[in-house]
Amino acid sequence: MKAKISVSENNIISQIDPRLYGSFIEHLGRGVYGGIYQPGHRTADDMGFRKDVLELVKKLGVPVVRYPGGNFVSGYNWEDGTGDKALRPRKLDLAWAAVETNEVGIDEFQEWAKRADTDIMMAVNLGTRGPDEARQLVEYCNLDTDTFYAQKRRKNGFEKPFGIKLWCLGNEMDGPWQICHLTAQEYARKACEAAKVMKWTDPDIELVACGSSHKNMPTFGEWERTVLRECYDHIDYISLHNYYGNPENDTPSYLGQAVNMNEFIKTVADICDEIKAEKHSDKTINLSFDEWNIWFHSNEQDKQIPRWSYAPRLLEDIYDFEDALVVGTLLITLINNSDRVKIACLAQLVNVIAPIMTEEEGCWLQTIFYPFMHASLYGRGTALSAEVEAPSYDTDKLKNIPFVTTAAVKNDDGGITVFAVNRSLDEDCEPDISLPEGYKLYQHIVLDHDDMKAANSSAEPENVVPAEVPAEGKTLLKKHSWNVLRYRKGE
């Protein structure tokens, strides 16, 4: 197959916000307990954080981590996770029918984030709670005043404020599964008042209002309009969530799912601009795609988990090679929409639908770790528009899926990185790649495998790993492969 890929430095999409490569840790399954935190483990540090996990998180270069949920946050009392650990309550977590011991809360997580070189995107509970507790949490985390909640933080051993900049106004409040689910109008009012008092407490924070839980929600569209009309002046971003999967084992359609992500983003951006026009506003609301990933492998096994377990193996999808290709196409889509998507969180980071898995004997990396790491490391800078002329294919579910999909980034060191996925199951692609004058390929990293269902595991951690292929000679995008093409000027 032939394809033409043209990248011009004049065709700029946007400066990429590094938070495009964010992730997410929820109090869910083994995300926190047995994931990032395991006192007594041979790699545990002085606070009980697993150092082997910290090293891998740093390797991914995750700039921001959403916390503490997810569905969990809608029943969470943040004070339970602060102060003397011996006094912390064991509680029922109704979101995941689990027991929450509160050994880890914001007191510990802000320290973990420092050790992981990342920032926190903090979610407040707008399910069982409201604006009052949200503003108190902002005071606890960010203020240096001589007032009750700032003093409470000091008494708990933290003289300096945590300085958390980015906040989510609840989680998926449009979903009937959410603890204290709200209608669009109910959420819009609650979020608006929470936003006001949170920003009055700390005017430097940025706020993300809940958009739809996924593109097929019956309320999608009207939910966004209602929330934006009510909250426009008080928020900075609206969220998008979507998980993808291949439960019907239809690989060609599955490989094309990024087309849906692209449409979802464009539609939400259009709605934001529609409300901007309606309000005659100068302000643009941008997008926070703060939950995205593949999630379907673990659905059946999760039905077997007994209720009220502590740190059960929940949502532990084992990702295969085709999942990694799909994650690659989703990353390409996020980069190509970086003019509107400023924040995105791979959901999640450790054990729970995650790139990093822990076992007693050590960690192992899922297939999806690699495209995410490549994008996070080499996808920083300015997104350039990469024009692709390539054949496309149709499936019963999707039409016009290009076999080759790409994103191009002008990196801050002056190089250019082209990410490319060849979706064809049968044909290699010989692309004719045109770059600005003087750029030469110096590194070509490929993730490919003969078996689309090949996965890694604790026993076989290197079954699917990337490799470098020679950068000289003709560039080939092998059939079903993820490619990172790195160019620099000269020589």
Residues lying near ligand AHR in the complex (CB under 6 A)? 26, 69-71, 171-172, 213, 291, 347-348
Half-sphere exposure of 462 (CA within 13 A, CB side): 2
What phi and psi values does residue 461 have, to the nearest 5 degrees? -75, -15
User: Which secondary-structure segment (H or E) carries 464?
Assistant: none
Annotated catalytic residue within 172, 224, 230, 322:
172
Catalytic-labelled residue, pool 139, 193, 224, 291: 291
Handedness of CA 12, 17, 23, 24 (dihedral sign): negative
3-state DSSP assignment of residue 400 = coil
Residues 206 and 168 sit within 8 Å (Cβ to Cβ): no
Please say whether the beta carbons of 312 and 333 come within 8 A.
no
Q: 230 catalytic, yes or no?
A: no
A 10 A CB-CB count for 316 gives 17
For the bound state, the minimum distance from the C-beta of residue 97 to ligand AHR, rounded and expressed in Å, comes to: 13
Please give the helix or strand (H or E) that residue 240 lies within, else none.
strand 237-244
Identify the three-state secondary structure at position 62.
coil
For the CA atoms of 50, 57, 162, 164, the dihedral, rounded to the nearest 10 degrees, stands at -140
- Which position has the token pair 């899926």? 401
Minimum CB separation of residue 433 from ligand AHR in Å reads: 37
Other C-beta atoms within 10 Å of 369: how many?
Answer: 25
Please report which residue ranges of 279-320 form alpha helices under DSSP H.
299-302
> Do residues 9 and 420 lie in contact, with contact meaning Cβ atoms separated by under 8 Å?
no
To the nearest whole angstrom, how small is the minimum distance from the Cβ of residue 19 to ligand AHR?
18
* End-to-end CA separation in angstroms for the chain: 30
Among all chains, which residue has been given the structure tokens 């928020």? Answer: 235
Shortest Cβ contact with ligand AHR: which residue? 70
Of residues 170 and 381, the one with the C-beta less far from ligand AHR: 170
**What is the residue type of 273?**
D
Minimum distance of ligand AHR from residue 210's CB (angstroms): 10
CA 406/CA 267 separation, integer angstroms: 21
* Structure token pair of residue 463: 């079954």
Nearest-angstrom CA–CA distance, 96 and 298: 14
Query: Closest distance between ligand AHR and the C-beta of residue 117, in Å?
Result: 23
- Closest distance between ligand AHR and the C-beta of residue 296, in Å? 12
Owner of token pair 């673990």: 298
Query: Per the structure block, which two tokens stand in for 124?
Result: 């407040």
Could you tell me which residues are beta bridge partners of residue 243?
293
Question: Does 274 participate in catalysis according to the annotation?
Answer: no
Q: Are 324 and 367 in contact (CB under 8 A)?
A: yes
Rounded to an integer, what distance in angstroms lies between the CA atom of residue 291 and that of residue 275?
A: 24
Pick from 59, 102, 66, 108: nearest CA to 363: 59
Token pair of 7 as six digits:
């990248």
Nearer to ligand AHR, 347 or 477 (CB): 347
Which amino acids are annotated catalytic? 172, 291
